[in-house]
Amino acid sequence: MMKKGGCSAASIAMILVIIGAINWGLVGLGGFFGGNWNVVNLLLGSWPVVEWIIYILVGIAGVMMIFGCKCLSCKESCEGRPTTMNQNSSNMGGN
């Protein structure tokens, strides 16, 4: 699964967002079934600070998914898409 969505940071962000989404879904399901299905809390409940850091990382990853990664490898991966046409300014013809 390398180089699918860009650089490793973008891949990690996507994985974190997926983990956060699934975990949040489990929290909701656990509420109905009367159990704590918060996997992050179950795994890291003994270390609250680590647990909070995971939540913060998931939040940062979500923001990253909104704005996109600006690194070179991510730009290259987006080259084929027509959504970045505006960035190619036409002022390079300097004669």
Binding site for Zn ion (CB under 5 A): 6-7, 10, 69, 71, 74
Considering the complex, state which of residue 7 and residue 16 has its C-beta at the smaller distance from Zn ion: 7
**Cβ proximity to Zn ion, 36 vs 84, nearer residue:** 84
**What tokens appear for 92 in the block?**
């390079």
Residue 6 vs 20, nearer CB to Zn ion:
6
Q: What is the smallest separation between the CB atom of 59 and Zn ion, expressed in angstroms?
A: 18
Least distance (Å) between residue 94 CB and Zn ion: 31
Q: How far is the CB of 27 from Zn ion (least distance, A)?
A: 29
Cα 56 from Cα 48, distance rounded (Å) = 12
Q: What are phi and psi of 13, to 5 degrees?
A: -60, -45
Nearer to Zn ion, 26 or 58 (CB): 58
Name the amino acid, one letter, at 11. S
Cβ proximity of 27 and 35 under 8 Å: no
The Cα 55–Cα 17 span in angstroms is 10
CB atoms within 10 A of CB 35: 11
Query: Rounded to the nearest whole angstrom, what is the least distance from the CB of residue 73 to Zn ion in the complex?
Result: 6
